[in-house]
Copies of this chain bind each other. A is one copy, B any other.
Amino acid sequence: MTAPTRPAPAIEAVQWFNTETPSTLDALRGRVVVIEAFQMLCPGCVSHGLPQATRIHETFSRDDVFVFGLHSVFEHHEAQGPTSLKAFLHEYRIAFPVAVDAPGEAGGLPVTMTRYGMQGTPTLVLIGRDGHRRAQHFGHVADLRLGAEIMALIAEPARVRPSGNPRV
């Protein structure tokens, strides 16, 4: 018996880069969604997480898989603002859309990061065609396993939900 899954929490973005049309998970229903949560001054994000997200972006069909970055800043706020992020995305040639996670109250964790219960960055989230969160990896995950996980979600029919839970 497989553990039941749940609809992925909504993305709360204050700004988007690399796209003219901000995305919502609702609008992406029917495609597999990959969220790469990162901070631009997080070494593991720069060396592993973001290059891996770029590989995903370049490997799969856009009709099947939608990749976007989520800039979830929870430290060094003054050094990782939108102006800094824009320069970073340019220098590192990040080509996929990037959302800026809405700041939390009183300098706490940002809103989307909190909704997903992320422990830090980088965190990679996989959402199925049915809009349910299906996997969440904090830190390094091997390409071979990740490629398999993404394809397992691609292979699912868009309308049949793999969990026994009623759709909310």
| Interface residues, chain A, with chain B CB atoms under 8 Å away | 41-43, 46-47, 52, 55-56, 59-60, 76, 78-80, 83-84, 86-88, 90-92, 142-152, 154-155
A84: which B residues are within 8 A, CB to CB? 78-79, 84
Q: Which listed residue (B78, B90, B144, B155) contacts A55, Cβ 8 A?
A: B144
Taken together, the copies of this chain in the complex come to 4
A47: which B residues are within 8 A, CB to CB? 47
Q: How far is the CB of A156 from chain B (nearest CB, A)?
A: 8
A81: nearest chain-B partner, CB-CB? B79
A82: nearest chain-B partner, CB-CB? B79
A46: which B residues are within 8 A, CB to CB? 46
